[in-house]
Amino acid sequence: MAYATDMGVSRIHEGLAAGEFSACDVVDATLAHIKQADPQLHAFLELTEDAARAAAVRVDEAIANGTFGQLGPLAGVPIAFKDNMNLKGTRTTCASHMLETYVSPYTATCVQRMLDAGCLPLGKLNMDEFAFGSTTENSAFGPTRNPWDPDRVPGGSSGGSAAAVASGMTALALGSDTGGSIRQPAGFCGVVGVKPTYGMVSRYGVVAFGSSLDQVGPFARSVKDAAFALDALCGRDPMDCTSQDVEIDFVAATERPVEGARVGIVPSFMEAEGLSSEVKARVAEAAAKLEAAGATLVEVDLPHADAAISAYYVLAPCEAFSNLARFDSVRYGCCDAGHTDLGGQYEASRAKGFGAEAKRRILLGSYLLSSGVYDEYYVRAQKVRTLITQDFRRTYGQCDVILSPVAPTVAPKFGELAEPAQMYLSDVFTIALNIAGNGGMTVPCGLGRDSGMPVGVQLMAPQFQDGNMFAVASELERIFGQAQVAPAFAPKAGE
């Protein structure tokens, strides 16, 4: 059997080990599919064909030498990276004109761990500029389109990562999640997306948005594929003081029975303003089927969750303002030459390099951290953060995971979230997790009855107990079926 672009990790390994196809065949077929599909979607900003082929040759040599079993757990598996992750020798632009010509002199830890696991690196993926957005419309290089309907957004800010996996252009992709930027696009594109507990994956070499909120995680078309990726990603990194030792076997967690698991339901989430009927119906169906499979449903309360968006849009712009200060046209970033004074060069270069949403967040962060305003907003937001974190801690005394919507609606059409406030509200169900630092993931649960678009549900787990959500996610996958490549991009019979 030839390699097909809808194959997952286990099937790729089986095919390579059995000699059905080679790693070079995987690269050739994948790159051919990208060159056919990506002009319609614009998920990739850069292809690394030479690096992918070199990695494939190493895998094929190991197979020929009988040492394939000694390679990493993702040997021969295609992967691509969100363009805020440094990979030596590639451009790391953060989808911004500010870094349009920046070439990475080193490799991020998360990227290196994927390479060490044997993956075939395909390139860098589109995103909202500096991860500011929920639709990938804020990219300086043009939007990415949803593989299920090109007239709709793929979500954001990791929209390129979600679209690449959903269209079969890669088996795995890495994204970053600051307020839902993995989970929300995964839901919109009908794939699995995981935001691990803060600290489980090193952030070294990932361009920071909100340093206390950011976390790297995988996109995949199956829960087990995401588990394979996390097993390779997680662990202590001496280059990141926030990273932690992790003792979770994620692949083993996917085999844990759901019977006896306590699944929390937050009634206020299910009655939230703006929650569409088709999303609500799918979440309710997922809860009912988990209960039928032996799980226990428990009503829980997160009393301060309604303040999460307000707190987030104080904390995140403040951290973004601080992190973006380094892009001053001297040390980093584009330079508008010809100025006689340094201040004028700073101002002109930043005005030229940053897009509208980046400027909006810089201005907001600057204001919120200014004298006379700091105590009124930033300090209060940190207090709300503490309350939200305490809410989650109490709630997990009653349940093992929480089940909720991941977004109020299915993927909207381009232009529907034109106002910034509308875009911010699309993350209403995801933001609290980043504030508290807990793990969360999106699992597809079918299509909306009205739109025919993918609907995902969100699972949330206690800190450093992310295996809980993988166990429940595997049961949901057995119920609803594994995520499929979007029909327009799926391999045809006989290919």
The answer to whether 158 is a known catalytic residue is no
Helices (H), 400-454: 420-425, 431-436
Strands 215-220 and 172-177 turn out to be: antiparallel
Neighbours of 370 (CB within 10 A): 11
Phi, psi (deg, nearest 5) at residue 457: -115, 155
Asked if the bond preceding 157 is cis, omega within 30° of 0, the reply is yes
Q: Spot the catalytic one: 104, 139, 181, 404.
A: 181
- Those residues whose C-beta lies under 8 Å from the C-beta of residue 160, and which sit 6 or more positions away, are 42, 43, 44, 45, 82, 83, 125, 126, 127, 136, 144, 154, 173
- CB-based contact 174:219 (threshold 8 Å): yes
Backbone dihedral region for residue 452 (phi beyond 0: left; psi -120 to 50: alpha; all else: beta):
left
Q: How far apart are CA 489 and CA 37, in angstroms?
A: 7
Q: Could you please report the per-residue DSSP string of 439-483?
A: EEEEEEEEE-TTT--EEEEEEEE-TT-THHHHHHHHHHHHHH---
Phi, psi (deg, nearest 5) at residue 377: -115, -60
Q: How far apart are CA 334 and CA 257, in angstroms?
A: 53
- CA gyration radius for the chain? 21
Distances in Å between the Cα of 240 and the Cα atoms of 121, 205, 470 are 23, 9, 25
The answer to whether 181 is a known catalytic residue is yes
What count of Cα atoms within 13 Å lies in the side-chain half-sphere of residue 22? 15
Strand partners, 136: none
Q: Spot the catalytic one: 82, 124, 195, 224.
A: 82
Which tokens go with 472? 């429940």
Q: Spot the catalytic one: 157, 161, 222, 404.
A: 157
Distances in Å between the Cα of 297 and the Cα atoms of 289, 382, 391 are 11, 32, 18
Q: Which helix (H) or strand (E) holds 299?
A: strand 296-299
The counts of H helices and E strands in the chain are 18, 11
Quick one: which of 483, 111, 474 has its CA closest to 261?
A: 474
Phi, psi (deg, nearest 5) at residue 416: -70, -30
The answer to whether 404 is a known catalytic residue is no
Query: Catalytic amino acids?
Result: 82, 157, 181
